[in-house]
Amino acid sequence: MIRAMSAGRFRLSRTAALCGLLLFPLLAGVCAGAENVHQGPLRLPGQSFFQGFRLSLVPWCEAPLAKGEFELGTFATWVNIWGWKPRQYLVDGETLRVRGVLGYGLSPRVHVRLEVPVTLRTGGFMDSFVEGFHGTLGLFNAYKEEFPRNRFRMVFYSPEGGEQRLDSRDTGLYLDDLVLSVKWHPFAGNRYLPAVVLGADLKIPTGFLEGSGLDAGGSVLLAKRVWRLYGYLGAQFTYCGRGDVLGVRMVHEQWSFLAGLEVRLSERFSLVLQEITNTGVARDLYEFSEATYEMALGFKARVGPETFLEFGLVENFVHYDNSPDFGLHFGVAHRFGA
């Protein structure tokens, strides 16, 4: 990580500036409230192509489960991936990642979660929409319109020579690695101090994708309320056991950072803006050795006494070739049994 930072690969200053912009009202310290967590950030992991093989920071920062309470949820994210540099790489396709989640409250402050994820690889259908969306906003399509639409193809050219490919023969539905998590809420915060959520996560190599491996991570999330605004900051360190994916050498250590802002419009409905940064995954593979910056804008709603809904739009920025071009995120969860 030190080498990457010294080489300017991880542009922490941009993330820090974004965090400061999102949380400026909170830092002012006005109108502070005691309830520091409302509905929380979108429960959305990193969506870049290589990040899909690794343990990701998921901001579980909502109110903890009661002792003996269960939560059953489904979270799905569909993203369009595009990036092309001649004789370096071509990433073109779409993925749908669906996570079935079962949570259980061990105590009022500690709960465990089991995630069962699956991934669908496909050529998709969003190319025309993404090109039109970018054209309407006057954004550069990065030569996307010059390639066939709605196909799946991943090509990586090693700097030392050789190449690795995925194509239509590699599409289909795959079981991913199971993830077991423990979340601890040691401090609910007060008028001046934020709530704290600590987490430990383990990704177990039970899947059928090329990057299946044993990963372990530890995280800390902070939440603070000011009036109708809730600010969230988080960080996770992950050690990834897999040293290569598709012949590409991977770094073992990774940092992830979250900055989020929730605007409570009512007791049941909030708007959410968040950004997740993941440090580079590859040791020496062009933009894939750089950090990814993924922003999401959406809402969270309580649609029943114990039923929660979330929706978000996903977009990349800073580096446009190593992360999703556009995505849709949806989730629903229900608590019962307390």
Tell me the C-alpha distance between 229 and 271, whole Å.
Answer: 10
pTM of the complete model: 0.85
- H or E, element range at 130: helix 127-136
Burial of 56 (0-12, 13-18, 19+ CB in 10 A): buried
CATH number, domain with residue 307: 2.40.160.40
Task: Give pLDDT tens digits for 55-106.
Answer: 999 999 888 899 999 999 999 999 998 888 888 999 999 999 999 999 999 9
Structural domain range at position 149:
2-336
Q: Residue 138 has what pLDDT?
A: 57
* Model pLDDT, residue 25: 42
Dihedral angle at the C-alpha atoms of 52, 57, 63, 64, nearest 10 degrees? 90
Q: What is the mean pLDDT of the chain?
A: 86
Q: What is the mean pLDDT of residues 286-303?
A: 95
Query: 158 pLDDT band (50/70/90 cuts)?
Result: confident
Which DSSP state fits 123? -
**What is d(CA 144, CA 152) in angstroms, rounded to the nearest whole number?**
13
Total number of domains in the chain: 1
pLDDT, position 5: 37
- The H or E element containing residue 97 is strand 89-105
Lowest mean pLDDT among 28-42, 69-83, 134-148, 201-215: 134-148
- β-strand 215-226 against 195-204: which pairing, if any? antiparallel
